[in-house]
Structure 1
Amino acid sequence: MTQVAAGGLAVAGLLTLAGCGAGLPGSGFFGDGSRADRVVKGTLPGWDGPDPDPLNGRPVVGWVSETEFGVITMGSSSCPAVAGELEVLDADEVQIEFGPSPRNPCTADMAPTSHVFQLPSAVDGRPVTVTVQFADYETDYVLELE
């Protein structure tokens, strides 16, 4: 191998490594930058909310404690959706946009992932409407926390 070819391979390798690491640094599940307070593979222990359905892939919400709620999303167990900032829309309404995982490759399975959020003090109305959006889809899921 010539020095030029070897140098080209080294540069290509460095660029490939740099591309693979893009978006990975940061906190969150798998270092993905999730803005949830806590992320748990699967359904939370003691979950009292509705059961997620892997066939329809719709998110579900439920109370975790008096001040925390969870959003369970369905998707690849190795590349779960990544929660963005929780946005307060009103005294009884919040919105969360989920983006795709920066990890790749991903397993081709449908598994639940629980995202736990602290309910902001500005949200004191009941029931609480939680709008869940996914960056890659046009459908908004409007869910209720009773």
Structure 2
Amino acid sequence: MRLRRSLATAGLVTSAAMTLLAVAGCGDGSGSDGSAAQDTEQGIPDDWDGPVPDPLTGQPAAGWIDDDEFAVITMGSGSCPPVPSEPEVTSPGEMRIEFGPSPNEVCTADMSPTTHVFTLPAELIDRPITVTIAYTDYDEMYELELP
């Protein structure tokens, strides 16, 4: 009886440890990876009505969440999404966000969308807003529009 109880306890401890490792490894978009996004979510939100990124070209997409928040959806490894910097306002209707490499060391070789949610900087008062997306890993930049 004591052996069964010990095995059951060991199973619970192992299960709890595995859950803790899974949570610690995945991240919750809270910036623990250096991200300036207020939230990061794997995939595309179910209620997303903005443009969808093209997985073949890797071009990101940007759209509104509400009046004060917008999102940028990037394509890349699902386990190592790029990490955004704080949006830099370059004029009353333009901003730039630079994405750096993920700090994760083991990455899947897939092409998955990741949604990065940001609060709209108060200095952006003109519409439409041009969002320039740059990556530190390569030279190509993308200009996206928030209508």
Q: TM-score, normalised by structure 1?
A: 0.79
Deviations 1:108-130 (A, max 9, x none): 00000000111111101100000
Deviations 1:57-105 (A, max 9, x none): 1110011101111000000000000001110111111100000001011
Map residues 1-146 of structure 1 onto 2, 5 A cutoff. 28=29, 31-146=32-147
Q: Is the 8 A contact 1:61 1:145 kept in 2?
A: yes
Shift of 1:45: 2.7
Q: Distance in 1 between matches of 2:56 and 2:35?
A: 25
Counterparts in 2 of 1:65 and 1:46: CA distance versus 1, 3 Å:
same
Q: TM-score, normalised by structure 2?
A: 0.78
- The residue aligned with 2:14 is none
Percent of matched pairs sharing the same residue: 53
Letter in 2 for 1:129: T
Partner SS, residue 50 of structure 2: coil
Shift of 1:29: 5.6
Comparing 39-48 with 92-101, greater Cα deviation is found at 39-48
**Aligned pairs, number:** 122
Shift of 1:30: 7.7
Q: Distance in 2 between matches of 1:115 and 1:141?
A: 16
Shift of 1:31: 2.6
Letter in 2 for 1:48: D
Unaligned runs of 5+ in 1: 1-23
Q: Distance in 2 between matches of 1:40 and 1:29?
A: 10
Partner SS, residue 54 of structure 1: coil
Q: Distance in 1 between matches of 2:29 and 2:114?
A: 13
Q: Is the 8 A contact 2:37 2:117 kept in 1?
A: yes
Letter in 1 for 2:100: G
Q: Is the 8 A contact 1:52 1:74 kept in 2?
A: yes
Unaligned runs of 5+ in 2: 1-24
